[in-house]
Amino acid sequence: MRGPLGAVIGRYPSSDGVTEMGGIIRHNRKCRDITVLVIFIAFWIAMIVNSSFGFNQGNPLRLTYGLDYKGNVCGDKHANPGLHKLELRYWQNPNQVYQSGLKDSQFKLVDARSICLLDCPIPSDDSLNWVCDYPEGDIRLSMDDWINRNYDYFEFLTPEMRNSSLQLQGPCYPVIFPSVNVYWSCQFIARASNTSLKHWQQMGGVNINEDIVIDKSIHKSINSRSAVLKRYMADIGKAWPVLIVCGGILPLFLSVIWLMMIRHFVAAMPWITVVLFNVLIVSVTMFYYLKAGWIGNDAISPIIGEHDPYINVFGRELTHIRAITVLMTFIMAVAILTSIAIVRRILMATSVLKVAAKVIGEVRALILFPLIPYGILAVFYMFWISAALHLFSSGQIVQNNCNSNCCTYDLVAKRVNCDRCCGYSIHYTPHIGVAILFHLFGCYWATQFFIACSSTVIAGSVASYYWAHGETSQEIPFLSVFSSMKRLMRYSLGSVALGSLIVSFVESIRFLLESIRRKLKVSSHGHDSCIGKAAYQSSQCFLRCIEWTIKSVNRNAYIMIAITGKSFFSASSIATELIMNNILKIGRLNVIGDVILFLGKLCVSLSSALFAFLMLDTHKYNSGHNKTSSPLFPVVVCWALGYIVATLFFAVVEMSIDTIVLSFCQDSEEHQGTAQYAPPLLIETLGDQNEMQRLTQGPQ
C-alpha cells in the first residue's frame, strides 16, 4: 500500500504497442529486462561457486572450539589423533599464559601450548596432578586410556622426560591453578593450589608465576571481538531446531491464521492486532530483562557446566544483551504510545481491510499461494545459513612464527625441540571477506526477489478479478493465481529482478557506510567531531529516504508489471504518475492500513522471538554440548525470518488493497465517478455513500 494504482483503460496501450487494453488483462506480452535476468542467473551461479568454496574450506567447529598444539580443532573426530568429545582447550604451561598477559611481552596466548580435553582439570587436594601430551612414541597408551587416567602418564616417563617436565617443557605439565569451562576454553582462576604448588617445589620444579595476569590473559582472548563474533555465528548453527520451529513453522501457522481471521472476523482484527502487538513487545522486552540479569537470577553466563558458585566470569555477550534491553525498552515505550495514538483511526482501517477480505473470499487460492515462495525461501535459507557458517569458518590453519625461546619435548623425536613450538592460528585471506560480503548481498537480493515475485503474482491475480467484474471468464481462468504466476515466469522475471536489485544496492551502500563509520570510530583516538556526526546522520537519513521511496515505487511498479507486462522502468513511470494523480484520494487510507498490516507482521515476528526465547531457555541450550553463548543472535534471526514469512502472507492483503482500491479509484475517474468494473461484492462492501465519497474524493 505504497501509493495509488489505477486501471489502464484506454490510456496505456498493451505491450505490443498496438492493441488497446480492454477491461481485463490481455496476454499479448513480451519478455522484458532480459539483460538483468541474465545477470541474475549469473549471480546464482556465482552464489553456488562461492558457497562451494565455503563448504570445501570451512569447518563450523572452528567457530566454537580452539586449536591444540598440533593445529587440530578440538572436538574434530577426523583429527590426528581423533578428538571426538575432547572439546575443551586447556593451556598446559602456566608460565606461558602469564608471559602472554604482560603488557610489553611479545609472546601471544595463541603461541602458548594448548591441548584438547574432556573437562577442565583441577588441582588435587593431597598430591600433584599432571596433564600430559597426547600419547605417542614410547608412551604405549590409547587415547581412551589416556582420558581414563585423567591425562596423566607421568609415572611412565623416563628420567629425561621427567626432568624436562619439571622445566615446564613437557611432555607432562603440572596442574597448579584451578580452571573453569568458559565457552569451551579452560580459564585459569588466579588462586594457586598450595598443596600442588608445595609438591611441585619439592620435586624441584621451576618457579611458577602467581598473578592475576594469568586470569586476565585468557579472559581477554575469550572476550575478543573476533571470538565473540564466532560464538554468535556458532549459536545459529547450534540452535537450528529453534530456527526451524520459531523462524519457519510458527510464523507460517500464525500468518495463515491471521489471513483466515481477516476473512471471517475483519471488524475485530485491527483491535486484536493492536492489543496483541503491545502484549508481545512487552513480553519480549521482559525476556531481555531476564537474560540481562536485571530481573531475577537468570542472566546469561559464560561458564559451561557445574562450577563453584563463588566464581564469577564476565562475558562481552552480557554487555551486548543489556544494550539491546535498553533499546527494546525505548522501542516498547514508543510503540505503546503510537498504538494509543492510532486507536481513533482503527475504524478506518477496518473499512480498508474489508476490501481485502472480500477479495480473499472470492480468490481463495490467494491464501495458499504464499506457500510456494515460502517453500522456495525455506530451502534457500537452509542452504544459505549452512554455507554462511562454512564461509565464516573458512581459512587455512598455519603455525605461527612467534620467534620465542620456547622449547617442548617431542615424544616422537625423543628429544626437546625448540624449533617448532609456536602455536597455530587460522589465517584469513582478503578474498574470504569479499566472499562473505557477496554471500550477505546475495541473501538480501534473493529475499527481495522472491517477495517481489510473490507480490507481482498476487497483483496480477487480483487485477484479473477486478477487471472481470468479479466473475470468471474465458480470459481469466478460475485459478487466476496460477495464470498470473505463468505470466510472471514467462515475461517479467527480469523486471522483478531489476526492482529487487535496486533495493538491495541501496541497502548495501547503507551497510558499507556503517562499516566504514565503525572502523573510523575505532581507529580514532579522539571524539567524533560534530561535523562528522552531522554528515554521517544526514547521509543515513538521505539513504533511508531513497530506500523508502524506491520500495514505495517498486510495489506499485510490480502491480503495473502484472497488469501491463511492461519493463520495470516503464511500469515505474506509470506507477509514479498514478501516485501523483491519486495521492490525495487514498493517502489517508493507505497510511492507516499500512500501519495495521505492519503491526500484524510485527505480531508474527515478535511471537517467533518470544517462542525462540522459551526454547533457548531449556536445559538443552543452557548447558552441555549445545549451550549457546547468548540467545541474542538466534532470537534476532527468528524475528527476521518470522517477519519475512509474515511479509509473504500479508502481501495477499497489502497487494489486494493496493490493486483493488486503486483500480476502483481509476475506474471511477475514467467513468465520471461511477466504477464500471467493480465486482458486486466490492460494491456491496463500499455501498455506503459516505464510504464511497471518502474513497473516491478524499478530504474536502
**pLDDT value at residue 246:** 94
Beta partners for residue 73, in sequence order? 67
**pLDDT value at residue 244:** 95
In which residue are the cell numbers 598477559 written?
101
**pLDDT value at residue 587:** 56
Nearest-angstrom CA–CA distance, 670 and 189 = 81
Q: How is residue 531 written as a grid cell?
A: 561535523
**pLDDT value at residue 23:** 42
The string of DSSP letters for 497-541 reads: HHHHHHHHHHHHHHHHHHHHHHHHHHH--SPPPHHHHHHHHHHHH
Nearest-angstrom CA–CA distance, 338 and 177 = 56
Using 70 as the pLDDT threshold, list the residues of the chain that sit under it. Answer: 1-28, 307-311, 344-349, 351-352, 403-405, 468-479, 514-549, 551-552, 578-579, 581-593, 661-662, 664-675, 678-700
Per-residue b or e along 235-257, where b marks 16 or more CB atoms closer than 10 Å to that residue's CB: bbbbbbebbbbbbbebbbebbee
**pLDDT value at residue 476:** 45
Compute the chain's Rg from CA coordinates: 32
SS3 assignment, position 214: helix
φ, ψ of residue 426 in degrees (nearest 5):
-95, 125
Q: 294-351: per-residue pLDDT in tens?
A: 988 888 888 887 766 666 777 889 999 999 999 999 999 998 888 887 776 666 667 6
In which residue are the cell numbers 592475576 written?
212
What stretches of 412-458 adopt beta strand conformation (E)? Answer: 415-417, 424-427
pTM of the model: 0.85
**pLDDT value at residue 13:** 39
Nearest-angstrom CA–CA distance, 521 and 515 = 10
Residue 185 Cα distances to 190, 493, 521, 530, angstroms = 15, 50, 31, 43
655 alpha-carbon distance from chain centroid? 27
- Nearest CA-CA partner of 274 in 593, 599, 590: 599
The string of DSSP letters for 295-363 reads: STT----SB-SS--TT-----HHHHHHHHHHHHHHHHHHHHHHHHHHTGGGHHHHHHHHHHHHHHHHHS
* Residue 226, burial from CB neighbour count under 10 angstroms (0-12, 13-18, 19+): exposed
**pLDDT value at residue 694:** 47
**pLDDT value at residue 399:** 84
Nearest-angstrom CA–CA distance, 585 and 3 = 10
**pLDDT value at residue 102:** 85
Beta partners for residue 399, in sequence order? 424
**pLDDT value at residue 519:** 60
Q: How is residue 673 written as a grid cell?
A: 465517478
**pLDDT value at residue 381:** 95
Evaluate whether 17 touches 564 at the Cβ level (below 8 Å): no
